[in-house]
Amino acid sequence: MSNDQRISQPLIAPSILSADFARLADELAAINGASGNRADWVHVDVMDGHFVPNLTLGLPVVESLLKATDIPMDCHLMIDDPARWAVGYAEAGSHNVTVHAEAAADPVALARDLRAAGARAGLSVKPDTPFEQYTDVLKHYDTLLVMSVEPGFGGQSFMPEVLDKVRAARHAVDTGHLNLVVEIDGGINNDTVEQAAEAGVDCFVAGSAVYGAQDPARAVSALREQAAPGFAHARQ
């Protein structure tokens, strides 16, 4: 994709993993408030019980979610053999489809297929996976999802040691070597969002911090406001 991925304000992507699965349409409406209280993306965690020990939801549920909201959908596939499944999420109308670097046999081909199906292509790295190993592969991608917890469950504690990867990715984008939205996932809340912003994150996934709040839409705008100074500082 040739368009510039640089964005002008922090993006907030609530994760519906922390929502009430019996009321998903209402939970999407709860992050679709007026102006600043609206989520930028909605993050959907697909887990297969193999790549990660947990099991969540799959394409039929995502197809229903796409009909229930106009917020761009950000599908995070924590699954083995993503080449078999990921393109379906793109064809269904997802805005961004992220696969794990550790699971993808041919990540360059997969990025090409995701883009051809109309989605942005995302690559995710677990906390122990070095980002540098994928620098060439990431030339074919639109988003990099840095995991700041071990994938599998919501509500875990943020791992600040992954911020070195965020800084390296921010540098690669700002020097023109990569053209990516830098996204972080896991343990983002009002105690951790500022340090992630200072390191250069563009898009902040937040599950329990949004859906555990009294007013999820207000929690979205509060996280965005809290991230804004660090976001600006990281790009000076």
Contact residues: ligand DX5, CB under 6 A: 15, 17-18, 43, 45, 76, 149, 151-156, 185-188, 205-209
Among residues 40, 48, 74, 185, the one annotated as catalytic is 185
- Using the rule CB under 5 A, give the single segment among 43-51, 102-110, 172-180, 194-202 that binds Zn ion: 43-51
User: Which residue from 27, 45, 74, 202 is in contact with Zn ion, where contact means CB under 5 A?
Assistant: 45
Between the two ends of the chain, the Cα-to-Cα distance in Å is: 25
User: Which residue from 185, 202, 204, 209 is in contact with Zn ion, where contact means CB under 5 A?
Assistant: 185
- Is 74 a binding residue for Zn ion by CB under 5 A? The answer is no
The nearer residue to Zn ion, 54 or 135, going by C-beta atoms, is 54
What's the CA gap between 150 and 66, in Å, rounded? Answer: 27
The nearer residue to Zn ion, 36 or 129, going by C-beta atoms, is 129
Element holding 121 (H helix, E strand): strand 120-125
The arrangement of strands across the sheet holding 120-125 comes to: 11-14, 203-206, 181-185, 143-147, 120-125, 96-100, 73-78, 42-47
Tokens of residue 19, six digits: 């929502």
163 CB-near residues (< 8 Å, 6+ apart): 195, 196, 199
Residue whose beta carbon is closest to ligand DX5: 207
Residue whose beta carbon is closest to Zn ion: 76
- Shortest separation between residue 136's beta carbon and ligand DX5, angstroms: 25
The nearer residue to Zn ion, 76 or 224, going by C-beta atoms, is 76
Residue 164: active-site member: no
What's the CA gap between 93 and 106, in Å, rounded? Answer: 23
Residue 142: active-site member: no
- Shortest separation between residue 155's beta carbon and ligand DX5, angstroms: 5
- Using the rule CB under 5 A, give the single segment among 21-29, 42-50, 54-62, 168-176 that binds Zn ion: 42-50
The nearer residue to ligand DX5, 114 or 149, going by C-beta atoms, is 149
Cα–Cα separations (whole angstroms), residue 130 to 95, 147, 149, 173, 210: 26, 11, 14, 17, 29
- Shortest separation between residue 154's beta carbon and Zn ion, angstroms: 8
Cα–Cα separations (whole angstroms), residue 63 to 9, 25, 82: 29, 12, 18
Which class for 115: exposed (0-12), middle (13-18), buried (19 or more C-beta within 10 A)? middle
Interface contacts to Zn ion, rule CB under 5 A: 45, 76, 185
Active site residues: 45, 185
